[in-house]
Amino acid sequence: MARRGGRSTRYAGRAAVAALAAQYLPSTVTLGQWTSLQALPGDLCRWQGPRDAPRVALTFDDGPSPEATPAVLDRLDDLSLVATFFPLASLAEQEPDLVAEVVRRGHAVGTHGYRHEHHLARTPRWVAADLAAADSVMAGLGLHPVWYRPSYGQATGSTLLAARRRGWRTVLWSAWGREWTTKDPTEVAGRIAGRLRPGAVVLLHDNDVFGTPGMWRVGLDSLELVAAELDRRGLEAVTLDTLVGTPR
């Protein structure tokens, strides 16, 4: 009996380790943004679109913001650029008209979850509840997003599985401006240009509530430079749906 108990204890210990790995080891998939990796098998998580067409996707996180989002929309209009926005549901329910305006202007809308929290520090139950709350808010706005980007780009195993259960496609990015680190829009545009190629998914922000005050203005002022680089390289900015296409 003692031997059986010991064996049972070993099995339980292995199961606990496996559960821990399932939760935390997949968080390393965020490293894909610094590699040439396009997507995980089964499209469980994606960083880039296909490279066989001269297209890229501009994306904006953390909105909506009554100050930043309208300014970003106006600048995109001025530059004839289309983008995909990832609003935080807790802010979207406070500013539903801004989300509607994003759609009216011809841009795509995904979801950034409900709360802007680190998934690495949260349980699978918390993650599932956060996604459920976001889904409810977006549905209340008449929207049913296809694309999901977790806060801080932290995608644990439970994050990816919870998103898949809701029919969402998790996407991170392959080029980003890191607007919170500088006040110089040329630095932001330069960082993006360094990884700008067919299939690129570009990350910018239309809010600064989770970063450095005024960072969205730096990103806003970089857009003209980014647009010029797109033109120089013969690249077209499209929505994620257009870039990646619908799943089979």
* pLDDT computed for residue 34 by the predictor: 65
For the chain, give the percent of residues with pLDDT over 90. 73
Please give the single-letter amino acid code of residue 214.
G
List, for residues 8-23, the tens digit of each pLDDT value: 444 444 444 334 444 4
pLDDT of residue 121: 80
169-189 mean pLDDT: 95
Question: pLDDT band at 247, cuts 50/70/90?
Answer: low
**Confidence class of residue 4 from pLDDT cuts 50, 70 and 90?**
very low
Return the CATH class of domain 2-243: alpha beta
In this prediction, residues 33-58 reach a mean pLDDT of 88
d(Cα 48, Cα 33) in Å, to the nearest integer?
8
pLDDT band at 228 (very low <50, low <70, confident <90, very high): very high
**19: CB partners within 8 A, 6+ apart:** none
Those residues whose C-beta lies under 8 Å from the C-beta of residue 66, and which sit 6 or more positions away, are 95, 98
List phi, psi (to 5°) of 155: -120, 100
- Residue 118: per-residue pLDDT: 84
Torsion angles phi and psi, residue 169, rounded to 5: -105, 115
Residue 184 vs residues 1, 71, 172: alpha-carbon distances, Å: 70, 18, 24
Lowest mean pLDDT among 4-8, 55-59, 83-87, 215-219: 4-8
For the cut 70, the answer to whether the pLDDT of residue 166 exceeds it is yes
Residue that wins the pLDDT comparison between 115 and 35? 115
> What pLDDT does residue 226 have?
98
pLDDT of 2 reads 39
With 90 as the cut, is the pLDDT of residue 243 above it? yes
Distances 172 to 107, 133, 149 between C-alpha atoms, Å: 18, 21, 6
Number of Cβ within 10 Å of residue 5's Cβ equals: 9
Q: Is a pLDDT exceeding 70 seen at residue 112?
A: yes
pLDDT value at position 122?
Answer: 83
Kindly report, residue by residue over 192-217, the tens digit of the pLDDT.
999 999 999 999 999 999 999 999 99
Give pTM, 2 decimals: 0.87
Domain spans, the chain: 2-243
pLDDT (0 to 100) of residue 32: 57
| Predicted pLDDT of residue 219 | 97
What pLDDT, on a 0 to 100 scale, did the predictor assign at position 117?
86
